[in-house]
Amino acid sequence: MLGEKYFELDMSYWGRSRRLVIQILCIWALVAYGLPALVLKTNKMNYLGFPLGYYNCAQVIPLFFGALLLIFNHVQEGIEADQMDGKPMVEAASSAALNAVLMKVYVAYTGGFVSFVLFLGFLEAVGVPDQAIGILFVIFTLGMYAAIGIASRTSKSDDFYVAGRNVPPIFNGMATAADWMSGASFVGMAGTLYALGYDGLAYITGWTGGYVLVSTVIAPYLRRFGSFTVPEFIASRYQGTVQLPGGKVVEMSGFARFLATIVLLSCSFTYLTAQVFSTGVIVSRFIGIQFEVAVFSGLIGVLFCSLLGGMRAVTYTQVAQYVILIIAYTVPAICMSTTQDDGFNKNNPVEFLVYGGTLQAIALREKEMVLLGLASKVTPYLEPKWRRVDFFALTFCLMVGTASLPHVLMRYFTTPSVRSARRSVTWSLGFILVLYMTAPAYAAFAKLEVYTNVIGQPLSVLPQWVFTYGKIGLTSVCGKAVTSVNEAVEACAQATGGDYLLRLKDLKISKDAMVIATPEIAGLPYTIAGLVSAGGLAASLSTADGLLLAISNALSHDIYFRLIDDKASIQKRLLISRVLLVVIALMAAGTAASKPADSLSMVAWAFSLAASGNFPALVLGIWWRRANAQGAIAGIICGWGLTLTYLLGTVYGGWELWGGISNVAAAVFGLPVGFAANIIVSLLTSPPPDNVLAMVDSLRDFKVTGEDLTAEELEDIKEKEEALARTQVLQVSNTAEATAEATVEAHI
């Protein structure tokens, strides 16, 4: 009777939780895809000067995702409260005390940084050279990150891998936001919106919508499992044996772990290369050194943090980096928005409410340029140019990729409890929205400045920033990266620059130059431009830190410790992890120095690789008890393999696009194949063993694992898990019947 009562309570909790997730995801999908589907009709309506269709995708949908997570957390915590028989769920006192201490530290840190920026503004006013100010920004920020790395150094495995599992939700949210808002987002997002207009909003919708999947489908269950890495979860979930043709029966979890690590390496290294590339762009511009040298120089700040303190140092460094990057991103946008007087707003500092008039001015200027002969044809900035299927495919891949990236999911291993993990996801999205809701305004202000004050101007009066960024290959005039008026005149084959008016097709600006160039484009003080460089550097380094840790931890923990030397001491494992950090960082720098693509495209490739390789295994592993090791292995090989093949073929092999789908949405092919292979093979082979089914049940069971554990209890559990893992290597059975007897029929 007691067992029946417990089972009934457990199913009630799981059943209510599952229904809530389904309801949330139905609403999420309806808004994420329904509103963009109506863009042509809703763009005819106006709100505060905005075409409503554009505004829905740029501002309304991301905000709705944040509100949806707040509702989900509230209802889910109510379900959990019912399981506690009226007893309140109280976070550990140590976590609350740490939260108070960190709040004081980072408030003081923010005040110090603001004072430093004001001091540099004073130096600019008294005549200090611009380059000196740029160097001071870079040196100060790198020095701060190195200092935090030194202060947070550790030799404990729990601190190194998961920051001691005691990071408060709000600070883990800030760290995740910094980890997430990579140099590609900081440097490339506004540039992509500048270049693509409405179609670029697929990135904002996809990346913000992905956090709904993280919170509802994956993160709480991974935190409840309590692993160090994503491959470790996949190896534990997908245990099982298979009989080889010679009669030998081998354990499959090691192969599943190996494949999961390969997926992690492929997506994380691609993503890491994009961050190092962004670092090189920023350092080369503001210190004035060659791009290839700047790429390797930027690694210093990364390695200081990750080498000394692992996840603990990286977490607290990323919080500091978030403060810098968000100040750096919003201050120029606010400065530009306060100058707007468009009939709807006047001197309004809330940038995401102000740029409606700017969008209308862009539309008018587009028509004017055609009439004046400055452009033969201009694709409207506010209207979709892609096919609807292309927009939805990219949005879908970015959403699913967000919920599959190992370095993002690792962040939720660091919270004190499952409830903290969910709250942390909501905080993450809230902090991310501050930047993503500013990016469309940033792009619009820059677009109008270029259309108005550069296009149609004589070559002889081109602004200096065109030549400054031409030196590092981020701008070109008439097909050449020019550094002076004379070179521009020569490039355009004109006898004089005074008579030739620059046409729209003559000027090319790299997507990666737009954010760091916009303060100069808008004529803001150089201190603001230096501030933006510091923010971009913070964004690139924070994500590079997380990616390096994800890669090195997977290689040292999942490959070396789990598959090669399971008796290695903690000290030896940490040493190997640190050596791998340096090697991987150098490899990424070497790849980035070759300038393989723009940063945002490289990031999109990483999302597709993560989505096709990880998402089916993670989702089915949590939500479908019948999924087994053979199915997971087949799903990873087929789904990830197809995505990688399409990427390599279209980028380097000269392949035609399949159905016209861009390679930035490559997972649209691999993801369904991965799901289908996992499900079909799982159904055709034996169910998972009893111990795996029990583990899946425990992930869904609030009564057993819903309450917080102390650090000592977590350490004890981890030691027992590692001891058990050493005894379960290569379990061999003599007959297929013995294997079948060790399994049971499973149901959802």
For the ranges 21-25, 324-328, 439-443, 706-710, the maximum mean pLDDT occurs at: 21-25
**49-58, 257-266, 335-344: lowest mean pLDDT where?**
335-344
pLDDT of residue 301: 61
Confirm whether 714 is domain-assigned: yes
Q: Are residues 380 and 483 in the same domain?
A: no
The pair of structure tokens assigned to 48 is: 């505060």
Please indicate, yes or no, whether residues 724 and 608 belong to a single structural domain of this protein: no
For residue 310, pLDDT over 90 is answered with no
Q: Say yes or no to pLDDT of 712 above 50.
A: no
- CB–CB of 258/617 below 8 Å? no
The contacts found for 119-122 with CB under 8 angstroms, 24 or more apart, are: 120/527, 120/530, 121/525, 121/527
714 in the same domain as 605: no
pLDDT band of 270, cuts 50, 70, 90: confident
Same domain membership, residue 609 and residue 562: yes
Let me know if residue 672 belongs to a domain: yes
Mean of per-residue pLDDT scores for the chain: 82
Task: State residue 3's pLDDT score.
Answer: 42
What's the pLDDT score for residue 309? Answer: 54
Contact between 407 and 550 (Cβ < 8 Å):
yes
pLDDT in tens, 92-101: 555 677 888 8
pLDDT reported for residue 218: 94
Where is average pLDDT lowest: 167-171, 501-505, 516-520? 516-520
Average pLDDT (258-287) is 81
| 637 and 714 co-located in one domain | no
Q: Which of 137, 90, 251 is nearest to 728 (CA)?
A: 251
Assess if residue 109 is contained within a domain: yes
Quick check: 225 pLDDT over 60?
Answer: yes
Does 339 score more than 50 pLDDT?
A: yes
Q: Are both 488 and 513 inside the same structural domain?
A: no
Task: Tell me which of 444, 479, 498 is where a domain ends.
Answer: 498
Cβ neighbour number for residue 379 with a 10 Å cutoff: 11
Please state the rounded mean pLDDT for residues 518-530.
Answer: 85
Q: Residue 121 above 60 pLDDT?
A: yes
pLDDT confidence bin for 268, thresholds 50/70/90: confident
Burial label for 174, CB within 10 Å (0-12, 13-18, 19+), is buried
pLDDT of 370: 92
For residues 361 and 393, state if they share a domain: yes
Residue 300 shares a structural domain with residue 340:
yes
Domain boundary among 681, 700, 719: 700
Q: Identify whether 705 is part of a domain.
A: no
**Of 308 and 136, which is predicted with more confidence?**
136
Q: Which of 449-463, 544-558, 584-598 has the highest mean pLDDT?
A: 449-463
The total domain count for the chain is 3
d(CA 557, CA 144): 29
pTM over 0.95: no
Q: What CA–CA distance (Å, rounded) separates 713 from 716?
A: 5
Cα dihedral 136/582/165/210 (nearest 10)? 80
pLDDT in tens, 487-506: 998 888 875 666 788 999 99
Residue 673 backbone phi and psi in degrees, to 5: -65, -40
pLDDT for res 302: 62
Residue 20 domain-assigned (yes or no): yes
CATH number at residue 670: 1.20.1730.10
- For residue 45, tell me if it sits in a domain: yes
* Residue 424: per-residue pLDDT: 94
Q: Average of pLDDT values for 100-114?
A: 91
Buried b (16+ CB within 10 A) or exposed e, 258-272: bbbbbbbbbbbbbbb
Assess whether pLDDT exceeds 80 at residue 447. yes
Other CB atoms within 10 Å distance of the CB of residue 443: 29
Q: Is 629 in the same domain as 719?
A: no
Both tokens assigned to 188: 């490339």
Tokens for 494? 């004109």
Burial of 47 from C-beta contacts in 10 A (0-12 / 13-18 / 19+): middle
For residue 731, the model assigns a pLDDT of 38
Q: What pLDDT, on the 0 to 100 scale, is given for residue 600? A: 59
**Does 126 lie in the same domain as 97?**
yes
Q: Mean pLDDT check: name the lowest of 11-25, 291-305, 406-420, 517-531.
A: 291-305
pLDDT at 652: 83
* Residue ranges making up the domain that contains 471: 462-498
Among the ranges given (181-190, 622-631, 669-678), the one the predictor scored with the smallest mean pLDDT? 181-190
- Are 451 and 474 part of one and the same domain? no
Clarify whether residues 216 and 279 are in a common domain: yes
In which residue are the tokens 């978030």 written? Answer: 322
**Is the predicted pLDDT of residue 2 greater than 50, yes or no?**
no
For residue range 669-704, list pLDDT tens digits in order: 999 999 999 999 999 999 999 999 998 988 887 654
Q: Answer whether residue 711 shows pLDDT above 90.
A: no
Average pLDDT over residues 493-520: 81
pLDDT at 431: 95
Q: Give the pLDDT of residue 173.
A: 93
